[in-house]
Amino acid sequence: MTRRFMRVSAPLALAIAGALTLSACGNAPAKPESHAEEAEKRGPHGGRMLYDGDFSLEITIFEDGVEPEFRVYAYRKDKPLAPTEVQLTVALTRLDGEVNRFAFAAQDDYLRGQGVVTEPHSFDVAVAATQGGRTSHWRYESHEGRTTISAQAAKAGGVRTEIAGPAPIAELVDMAGRVEITPEGKGEVRAWYPGRIMSLSGQLGTNVRKGQVLARVESSESLQTYSIPAPISGVIIEKNLNVGDVAMERPIFVIADPTKLHAEFFVYPRDAEKVRVGQPVQVRSLSGDTRLTAEVEAVLPTADLVSQTLLAHVHLPGGADSAFRPGMGVEGSFQVGAQTAPLAVRTKAIQRFRDFQVVFVKVKDTYEVRMLQIGRQTPEWTEVLSGLKPGAEYVVDGAFLIRADIEKSGASHDH
């Protein structure tokens, strides 16, 4: 008999196949209904009990200090049988159709599966056991980290998938820096000829436009008064002189265009040979809340005498987020090289499930967890060393919703 526990939650419609289908047969056809209560029983080793008349098996997956392996205990009339009296095979059919077959050998008081039961421990199980010339068969479901979602519900929940395959994994070098206004983003309002300042029309923090008259100065030589316009549009960030002062070398005002920014990063000698003009850089605010991708526009050839660092200028696009303000500290990840990983997934697709880093694969309308062993990682891509097949369709957006619904459903790591 098959039991299904159904639950619906917005935005995803969830159907967890959480119970087992169990039947046993010897020389005569078995009645599956008669085993419904027995399927709920646990043996003395905490395993799942399978019954066929007086003969029974207790199936466990043992993973204490070893790679997960089957350990099966045999009973006759609830009394332990010697493992040498039983011939056993188990076949696991996974969501994508892959079948894992296990032979068993007697060890101590149990039958030990020959091979590792890889994660996830989610499969349809077929068991065949021969004892005393009689063969018993069982089939049941053992699913975890799995949910079925209609295409319509998945779309409404913002679920989006991609196909896992090769991807470029960049070598990253992290550096600290600060935001500064570019040289082109600053302008000074200076007297053209020495003289007394007759009037000023700007204040600190005032927005001005290019060509706007900001000062009138009386020349000391000709005694003629001339106007001084703003050389660029921007904000007045310095005011150094007042009406009545004599304007000479010192600028009257300094104007800055806050949209013309770059980040200056301190490049240590060990990284100097890796940093090149044109390399992409992910620039982050110190809080990490604001990020953007920019390019190296220049690496200055002279080093600081004290720190021995070079300066790398990274262009910040016009209209960069207001979180990047002149003088503020930033962090940058420089992509100094890239190699193609044979198998990679989007970094944002990775979720936490139990003690694993995982993605969720999609087969038709069913989604299931895949435990990953990961390698190199960038903000965009993560190399997959094991746990996922090339060509698998996996969830990129909406993965956290699937994980949350699976966890709420009570799908457990249960054998």
Q: Over 60: is that where the pLDDT of 113 sits?
A: yes
What CATH number does the domain containing 176 carry? 2.40.30.170
Based on the fold, state whether residues 325 and 346 are members of the same structural domain.
yes
Q: Over 60: is that where the pLDDT of 10 sits?
A: no
Q: Is residue 406 part of a domain?
A: no
What CATH number does the domain containing 248 carry? 2.40.50.100
Range of the domain at 308: 160-182+260-397
Based on the fold, state whether residues 113 and 207 are members of the same structural domain.
no
pLDDT of residue 38: 42
Comparing 229-243, 259-273, 359-373, the range with the smallest average pLDDT is 259-273
Based on the fold, state whether residues 383 and 268 are members of the same structural domain.
yes
Average of pLDDT values for 198-211? 94
Based on the fold, state whether residues 267 and 377 are members of the same structural domain.
yes
Looking only at the bridges linking them, the beta strands covering 48-52 and 55-62 are antiparallel
Based on the fold, state whether residues 107 and 243 are members of the same structural domain.
no
Q: Is residue 155 part of a domain?
A: no
Q: Over 70: is that where the pLDDT of 17 sits?
A: no
Q: pLDDT (tens digit, 9 = 90+) per residue, 19-69? A: 333 344 444 333 333 333 344 589 999 999 999 999 999 999 999 999 999
- Point out the domain boundary residue: 204, 222, 256: 256
pLDDT of residue 151: 93
The more confidently predicted of residues 250 and 16 is 250
Based on the fold, state whether residues 281 and 384 are members of the same structural domain.
yes
pLDDT of residue 270: 87
Based on the fold, state whether residues 307 and 226 are members of the same structural domain.
no
Based on the fold, state whether residues 366 and 293 are members of the same structural domain.
yes
User: Domain total for the chain?
Assistant: 3
Q: Is residue 384 part of a domain?
A: yes
Q: Over 60: is that where the pLDDT of 128 sits?
A: yes
Q: Spell 331-363 as b/e; 16+ CB within 10 A means b.
A: bbbbbbeeeebebbbbeebbbebeebbbbbbbe
- Point out the domain boundary residue: 115, 142, 169: 142
Average of pLDDT values for 342-349? 96
The more confidently predicted of residues 15 and 176 is 176
Based on the fold, state whether residues 324 and 346 are members of the same structural domain.
yes
Based on the fold, state whether residues 178 and 309 are members of the same structural domain.
yes
Q: Is residue 24 part of a domain?
A: yes
What CATH number does the domain containing 92 carry? 2.60.40
Average of pLDDT values for 313-325? 77
Q: Is residue 412 part of a domain?
A: no
Query: For the chain, first and last CA: distance in Å?
Result: 18
pLDDT of residue 364: 94
Secondary element (H or E) of residue 272:
helix 269-272
Q: Is residue 153 part of a domain?
A: no
pLDDT of residue 243: 96
Based on the fold, state whether residues 364 and 240 are members of the same structural domain.
no
Q: Which residue, among 311, 70, 289, 74, has the nearest Cα to 183 in the 3D structure?
A: 311
- Point out the domain boundary residue: 113, 142, 171: 142
Average of pLDDT values for 68-76? 97
Q: Is residue 7 part of a domain?
A: no
pLDDT of residue 265: 95
Contacts of 211 (CB under 8 A, 6+ apart): 229, 230
Query: pLDDT confidence of 331, banded at 50, 70, 90?
Result: very high
Based on the fold, state whether residues 351 and 363 are members of the same structural domain.
yes
pLDDT of residue 320: 58
Q: Is residue 409 part of a domain?
A: no
Share of the chain above pLDDT 90, in %: 71
Separation CA 200–CA 392 (nearest Å)? 69
